[in-house]
Chains A and B, each alone.
Chain A
Amino acid sequence: MADALPNPNFNSSAHDNIPKVSAYYHTRAAHHGVVTSDWLAQAQAAVGHDPADDITANSSSPDSRKPFSVIDESNNWRRQPDLAEAVAAIRALAAVIRSSEATTMMELEIELKRASDSLKSWDTTSISLTAGCDLFMRFVTRTSALEYEDFNSAKSRLLERAEKFGEISYKARKTIAMLSQDFIFDGCTILVHGFSRLVLEVLKLAAQNKKLFRVFCTEGRPDQTRLPLSNELAKLDVPVKLLIDSAVAYSMDEADMIFVGADGVVESGGIINMMGTYQIALVAHSMNKPVYVAAESYKFARLYPLDQKDLTPAFCPIDFGVPIPSKVEVETSARDYTPPQYLTLLFTDLGVLTPSVVSDELIQLYL
Chain B
Amino acid sequence: MDARRTSRTVIDPKIRQVGFVTPGAPPDRTQSGPPESSSPPVADMSPAGNSLSPVMIPPPRHASDNLLLHASRAVPPISPIRRPGDSIAVGSYNQSDVFLGTSPTTTISPSSKIVDGEFSEELMSPGWAARGGNSGKVAASSFPSGGVDLMPVKSNIPSSSLTTVSVVNLPPGVSEKAGKESIEVQNDRAGSSKPLKEKTSKAERRALQESQRAAKAAAREGKAAGGASAAANPGNAKPANAAKPPPQKKDSASIAASEKKGGERPQEKDRKKEVPPPRMQFDDKSRVEKAKKRAVVKQTEARNRVELFRHLPQYEHGTQLPYLETKFFQLDPMHPAVYKVGLRYLAGDISGGNARCIAMLQAFQQAIGDYSTPPEKALIRDLTAKISSYVSFLIQCRPLSISMGNAIRFLKSRIAKLPINLLESEAKATLQSDIDRFINEKIILAVKVIVRHAVSKIRDGDVLLTYGSPSAVEMILLYAHELGKQFRVVVVDSRPKLEGQLLLRRLVERGIRCTYAHINAISYIMHEVSRVFLGASSILSNGTVYSRVGTASVAMVAHAFRVPVLVCCEAYKFHERVQLDSICSNELGDPDVISKVPGRKDVNYLVDWANNENLQLLNLTYDATPSDYVSMIITDYGMVPPTSVPVIVREYRREQLWI
Contact = CB atoms under 8 A, between A and B. Distances in A.
B647 A364 contact: yes
A340 B639 CA distance: 15
B647 A359 contact: yes
Interface in A270-312: 302, 304, 306-307, 309-310
B651 to A, nearest CB: 7
B640 A359 contact: yes
Interface string B296-337: 000000000000000000000000000000000000000000
A359 B643 contact: yes
Interface stretch (B16-24, B246-254, B513-521, B630-638): B630-638
Interface string A308-321: 01100000000000
A366 B652 CA distance: 13
Main secondary structure of the interface of B (DSSP, over half): mixed
A252 to B, nearest CB: 23
A364 B641 contact: no
- Residue of B459, B531, B647 ringed by the most chain A CB atoms within 10 A: B647
A254 B644 CA distance: 36
A154 B651 CA distance: 28
A360 B647 contact: yes
B564 interface: yes
Main secondary structure of the interface of A (DSSP, over half): loop
B560 to A, nearest CB: 15
B564 A356 contact: no
B418 interface: no
B648 interface: yes
Contact of A268 (B459, B632, B652): B632
B647 A304 contact: no
Given A363-B648, A367-B651, A306 B531 contact: yes
A267 B641 contact: yes
Interface string A340-367: 1000000000000000100110011011
A304 B644 contact: no
A269 interface: yes
Given A307-B564, A363-B647, A364-B651, A267 B531 contact: no
Contacts of B639: 267, 304
Interface in A128-186: none
A363 B457 CA distance: 20
Nearest to A309: B459
Contacts of B640: 267, 304, 359, 363
Nearest to A364: B651
A367 B643 contact: no
A363 B632 CA distance: 14
B266 to A, nearest CB: 40
Nearest to A306: B564
Nearest to B457: A306
Contacts of B457: 306, 310
B648 to A, nearest CB: 7
Nearest to A357: B643
Contact of B644 (A302, A307, A356): A356
Contact of B641 (A307, A309, A356, A366): A356
Interface string B77-116: 0000000000000000000000000000000000000000
B638 to A, nearest CB: 7
A85 to B, nearest CB: 25
Nearest to A307: B564
A363 B637 contact: yes
A269 B566 CA distance: 16
A364 B640 CA distance: 12
B651 A359 contact: no
Contacts of A307: 564
A360 B644 contact: yes
Nearest to B566: A306
Contact of B638 (A309, A360, A367): A367
A269 B651 contact: no
Contacts of B632: 268, 304, 306
A91 B289 CA distance: 72
A359 B531 CA distance: 22
A304 B644 CA distance: 13
16 contacts: A267-B638, A267-B640, A267-B641, A268-B631, A306-B531, A306-B564, A306-B566, A306-B631, A307-B564, A359-B641, A359-B643, A359-B644, A359-B647, A363-B638, A366-B638, A367-B638
Given A267-B641, A367-B637, A367-B652, 18 more contacts: A267-B638, A267-B639, A267-B640, A304-B632, A304-B639, A304-B640, A307-B564, A309-B459, A310-B459, A356-B641, A356-B643, A359-B644, A360-B647, A363-B637, A363-B640, A363-B648, A366-B638, A367-B651
List 3 A-B pairs, minimum CB-CB distance, nearest first.
Answer: A356-B643, A306-B564, A359-B644
